[in-house]
Amino acid sequence: MSSDLYATPEHEAFRETVRKFTEEQMRPRARDFDAAGRIDKSLFKQMGDLGMLGLRYDPAYGGSGLDWSFSAVMHEELGRSDNAGATLAISVHTEMATPSLAQFGSDDLKRAYLAPAIAGDTVSAIAVTEPDAGSDVAGIKTRAVRDGSDWVIDGSKIYITNAANADWLCLLAVTDPDAGYGGFSQIIVPTDTPGVRYDLLDKIGNWGSDTGQFYFEGVRVPVANTIGEVGRGFQQQMMQFQDERLVACITALSAMELLWDETKKWTDERVLFGKPLSKMQNTQFKMAELWVQMQAARELNLSAVRRLVDGKDATTLITAAKVFTVGVCMRVASECMQLHGGYGYMKESMAGRAFVDTRLGGIGGGSDETMLQYLAKQLGF
Amino acid sequence: MKVMVCLKQVPHQDAKLDINSDGTWIQEDNIKFEINSYDTYALEEALRIKDADADTEVVVVSIGPDRVTQALRTALGMGADRAVHVNDAEAFGSDALCVAKVLAAVAKAESPDLIFTGLMTDDGNSSAVPPMLAELIDVPSATGVLHTEAANGSLKVERELEGGAIEVVELPKPCLASIQTGANQVRYASLKGIMQAKKKPIDVKTAADLGVSDVASKATIDKVYSPPKNATADILSGSTDEIVSGLMGKIKELGVL
Ligand SMILES: Cc1cc2nc3c(=O)[nH]c(=O)nc-3n(C[C@H](O)[C@H](O)[C@H](O)COP(=O)(O)OP(=O)(O)OC[C@H]3O[C@@H](n4cnc5c(N)ncnc54)[C@H](O)[C@@H]3O)c2cc1C
């Protein structure tokens, strides 16, 4: 099925490393991360030491120069951490906040920010969404005004993952309000810069990630912190969203594959009306249907990965994969919760948590409607 | 110094095991495999010697079919220097003595200062190979080792005894230690290690290449089965005397003694 994509012994050996890491360092502590509302920052260092944080990045900055197939292997395994928030926190760092820097950043900027991020010495966050603009990215208001060789930044960003753990933000700001789509820039803002402040937000799910709102008041960072060209931020961010969306699909689906496995075990063990729940035809049909849906989502995700590995544009496939995978994952979570009965409604149940965790998929990283709007346009509407 | 580590690839601990059609072993077709957990501790113990003394060479040895390459690649990715893969249909899955004979032939060819093995395998559970191997090459051995300390001419080990006691033994080199789980914190193969392993050699050999013959198993497995699930349990109740006599009655009835 996916064997051609993951054909080399290195894929398999790397999968084993990530699987062990996930099983030993993440799953046993999953509920601790929930209680803390964030993952232990030292995990990033551990992952950096194992080479997990710069798979596709230039070896000159500590990366491994590999392709998306390795990223897919890694996130398939991390998705089984039994903590959607923890998985999200890591994937924000590897696939949502650093790709633009790796692709467009200057050598100096990459030495200063990408190399430590790959090593796991620093943690990054992506700051696009604002209280008054999410789906409508071009509607953001956070302003960076040039003052000599500095940007002076004022504004606010909301629902930012890794808010507490982040050492720097990949911030999208308006640098020229009159230039339309050419008026945005991606700027690296260290979180300890004077004038940067954040509050944590209380979420209904994804408890293992630290989501917050940032405020910027007269924040000064060098213009040299701009990623790529001034004025290209919007376009660069649209490209960065592709990695974000694909990783969201991969991690959410592998979390649901784990939930499906656990639910199957549960239905074998749960006895009602004198027989295991798994012996009821309704259970079997539901589980089989969910399995089919997951296979389809998996293949769609892998076709997107394949296109990226082949060096082709995958925007349409990734967009399709996101809207489809999100739907499948929400359905799996909901049906598995149903099969768990009252226990499924408990916070400690994997199914119950999945129910709230997967709901993020249709909102974050571009809502379902945003995906469909794009697809409709591609389809000639 | 040269350390030889013997490792076996076994079914993954999460693999769902079905019995094969003739009921003599498990179905191996669609399951995942991994390095026997005991052996990962043995490998880690060897790699720690290498960490402390870069001149150390760690050679991993495994007997098994093609799929074993994956286990050896992982071991090389973790830091072993080279691998010997005995890919021999007769030797694979053979009895403990034949497996020990094949490993002894590798040990003779390699003449390592130390041989580390796992205490037992997750699948076979026999613990027989390590002491047999030590006997065949005539070196001292210690089993159930929780800690090793390599000195110039010897290896000091701590062995786990019943009841939690620890025995300290010093073995002159060359020698063999079978390592208990939990002896150390096993490292992960880093991506860098995995990529470097691509260039490390895996030497593939048959038993004949090693000069050993007659390695096919002398023991045959008649039947592998899961204990029947619905066997009923009789709970004996009453005074101690009543329970004891009830139990004696059961034993007689079943004719097990
Ligand atoms: C847990 C969590 C973590 C997040 N992490 C980050 C992060 O790290 N960085 C970051 O920048 N952002 C992050 N976000 C923000 C997320 O990306 C936004 O919430 C998302 O883009 C939607 O924006 P919005 O909330 O402003 O909703 P809005 O844009 O106001 O959309 C509201 C609703 O309007 C509808 N809608 C939207 N577009 C259309 C359309 N074209 N046609 C018809 N209907 C439409 C949809 O139903 C949509 O859900 C996170 C959000 C959450 C909940």
State the distance from the centre of ligand 1 to the C-alpha of A364, rounded, in angstroms: 5
Alpha-carbon distance of A205 to A41, in angstroms, equals 20
State the distance from the centre of ligand 1 to the C-alpha of A137, rounded, in angstroms: 9
User: Is A244 an active-site residue?
Assistant: yes
H-type alpha helices, chain A = 9-21, 30-36, 42-49, 68-78, 84-91, 99-104, 107-109, 115-119, 233-269, 281-309, 315-344, 350-357, 368-378
Domain of A117, in residue numbers: 9-123
| HSE value, Cβ hemisphere, 13 Å, CA-based, for A331 | 16
For tokens 């995958």, name the residue.
A314
In chain B, where are the structural domains located? 2-205
Residue A211 beta carbon below 6 angstroms from any ligand 1 atom: yes
For tokens 């009252």, name the residue.
A342
Cis peptide, bond prior to residue B174, ω within 30 of zero: yes
**In this predicted structure, what is the pLDDT of residue B133?**
97
Contact A118, A54 (CB under 8 A): yes
CATH number at residue A364: 1.20.140.10
B141-199 per-position pLDDT tens digit: 999 999 999 988 999 999 999 888 999 999 999 999 999 999 899 999 999 999 999 99
Q: How far is CA B71 from the centre of its chain?
A: 13
ipTM: 0.87
Residue numbers in A near B69 (CB within 8 A): 9
Instruction: Give yes or no for residue B62 having a pLDDT over 60.
Output: yes
CB–CB contact B70 A9 (8 Å): yes
For residue A354, what are its two tokens? 């999945």
A116, A129: one domain: no
A59, A169: one domain: no
Alpha-carbon distance of A192 to A188, in angstroms, equals 12
State the distance from the centre of ligand 1 to the C-alpha of A35, rounded, in angstroms: 25
pLDDT band at residue A92 under the 50/70/90 scheme: very high
Q: Say whether B113 sits in a helix, a strand or coil.
A: coil
Q: What angle do CA A112, A114, A117 make, to 5 degrees?
A: 105
What pTM, to 2 d.p., does this model score? 0.90
A133, A95: one domain: no
| Portion 109-168 of A in contact with B at CB < 8 A | none
Using alpha carbons, list the distances in angstroms from residue B166 to A52, B37, B147, B161, B181. Answer: 39, 22, 10, 6, 15
pLDDT band at residue B255 under the 50/70/90 scheme: confident
A244, A257, A269, A369: which is the annotated catalytic residue? A244
**In this predicted structure, what is the pLDDT of residue A2?**
46
pLDDT band at residue B125 under the 50/70/90 scheme: confident
A261, A360: one domain: yes
**In this predicted structure, what is the pLDDT of residue A1?**
39
> Of the residues A82, A101, A123, which one is the last residue of a structural domain?
A123
A358, A277: one domain: yes
Q: Which CATH superfamily is domain B2-205 in?
A: HUPs (3.40.50.620)
Instruction: Give yes or no for residue A3 having a pLDDT over 80.
Output: no
Task: Supply the DSSP string of A53-120, one letter for each residue.
Answer: T-TTS-GGGT-----HHHHHHHHHHHTTSS-HHHHHHHHIIIIISSHHHHHH--HHHIIIIIHHHHHT
Alpha-carbon distance of B86 to B83, in angstroms, equals 10
Instruction: Give yes or no for residue B115 having a pLDDT over 50.
Output: yes
Facing residue for B74 by CB, picked from A13, A21, A52 = A13
B190-245 per-position pLDDT tens digit: 999 999 999 999 999 999 999 999 999 998 889 998 887 766 778 888 999 999 99
Nearest CA to ligand 1 atom 25: A134
Look at chain A and count its residues: 381
Ligand 1 atom closest to the Cα of residue A203 is 1
